[in-house]
Amino acid sequence: MLILQEKKRTNIFFAPRALADYLECVKNPETIRSICEDYRAAASIDLKDDDISRKKKLKIKMPTLVLWGKKGKIEQWYDPLTIWQKYCDQEVRGYGVNTGHYLAEENPDEVIKSINNFFKSN
């Protein structure tokens, strides 16, 4: 889909450097395999691991930054900070970045700024 969008030059919402990087990376079959493995894990073993963590009441033991795309549905459907706080022993901070699904690709400067500010304050 990204390649088609790039050729048509319409509806490109990725930052130019991010799009160029994606187009270069997807030429490598190992990149495609890794992307597929990530999705496979999210629909299988990750769910099992999450269930084990919940049953053992395991929590993240450090301050946590949560970012989501404000143009997406996350904020409409959920309260992300409240949800993440259930899985963390320490403070959870974050906000909706003015992006869709691809935060780092759509607004890399804002994501970098958020991460840097988070680490400076902790």
pLDDT tens by residue, 11-30 = 678 888 888 999 999 999 99
14 contact partners, CB below 8 Å, separation of at least 6: 2, 22, 102, 105, 106
Is the per-residue pLDDT at 96 higher than 70?
Answer: yes
Going by pLDDT thresholds of 50, 70 and 90, the confidence category of residue 83 is very high
Is the per-residue pLDDT at 9 higher than 60?
Answer: no
Report the percent of the chain where pLDDT is more than 90.
Answer: 83
**pTM (2 decimals)?**
0.80
Q: What is the mean pLDDT of residues 38-48?
A: 95
